[in-house]
Amino acid sequence: MSTVELLAWLPGHGHIDWGSVPDWFGGLGTVGTLLFGVLSLRREIRSRRREDRAARARQARLVSTSARIEGGGVLRVRVTNDSDGPVFDLTATPRVRTADSADEVAVGVSALTGPVDRLNGRDQGELFVTVDRSVDLTGYASAAVELCFTDQQGNRWRRRGGTEPELDLGVEPSRRRLRLPWRRG
């Protein structure tokens, strides 16, 4: 098809009505208004999500720990619950650091005693963490504890030292591919 035939085929012999300047301004105004509405909605959704996360973590922020090395294999952990509600299912994983290194090393736990099932609000308890026999804690400069607990809403939290609490989503999935019986390879 040649250009002449194409122009003959178009209605009005190639005359395209582009509209008037007010029509263009009206169209651009509509697009701008829609864009402004979408961006405002996104900002409001982000703000609400941030408020929901802060409200969910309110009790978890009020649970704190301090750790002290007692002897070669025992770590004394003071857990303070300054919130109004109880926390449940406390677990503690000790993390130790040498004087010349900034890296913390997780230490295996052989026994955990203390109020591990429930710690009431406005209360403090002491956990005694007995580490594996292969580790001597006296050689380390400091010790911190990664505390995991469940708040009264049923959310599982993990908190290390004075850091912000994080939702504990369980064990990270392995990178291994799932082997399905009907799939080869």
Dig out the tokens for 175 from the structure: 């990178």
pLDDT band at 9 (very low <50, low <70, confident <90, very high): low
Q: How many angstroms separate the CA atoms of 75 and 83, rounded?
A: 25
Is the whole model's pTM more than 0.75, yes or no?
Answer: no
Strands 109-113 and 123-131, sheet pairing? antiparallel
Q: Is residue 175 in a domain? A: no
pLDDT band at 15 (very low <50, low <70, confident <90, very high): low
Q: Is residue 113 in a domain? A: yes
Q: Is residue 66 in a domain? A: yes
Q: Is residue 136 in a domain? A: yes
Portion of the chain with pLDDT greater than 90, in percent: 48
pLDDT band at 180 (very low <50, low <70, confident <90, very high): low
The pLDDT value recorded for residue 108 is 84
Share the mean pLDDT of the chain: 85
Burial (0-12, 13-18, 19+ Cβ within 10 Å), 123: middle
Q: Is residue 179 in a domain? A: no
pLDDT band at 42 (very low <50, low <70, confident <90, very high): very high
Return the higher-pLDDT residue of 5 and 132.
Answer: 132
CB 96 within 8 A of CB 55: no
Strands 87-97 and 142-150, sheet pairing? antiparallel
Q: Report, in angstroms and rounded to the nearest whole number, the Rg of the chain calculated over CA atoms.
A: 31
CA atoms within 13 A on the CB side of 169: 3
The pLDDT value recorded for residue 30 is 97
Q: Is residue 50 in a domain? A: no
Dig out the tokens for 149 from the structure: 């607990």
**What CATH number has the domain bearing residue 96?**
2.60.40
Burial (0-12, 13-18, 19+ Cβ within 10 Å), 127: buried
> Lowest-confidence range among 69-73, 101-105, 153-157?
101-105
Residue 99 structural domain: 59-167
Helix and strand counts by DSSP (H, E) for the chain: 3, 10
Structurally, the chain folds into a number of domains equal to: 1
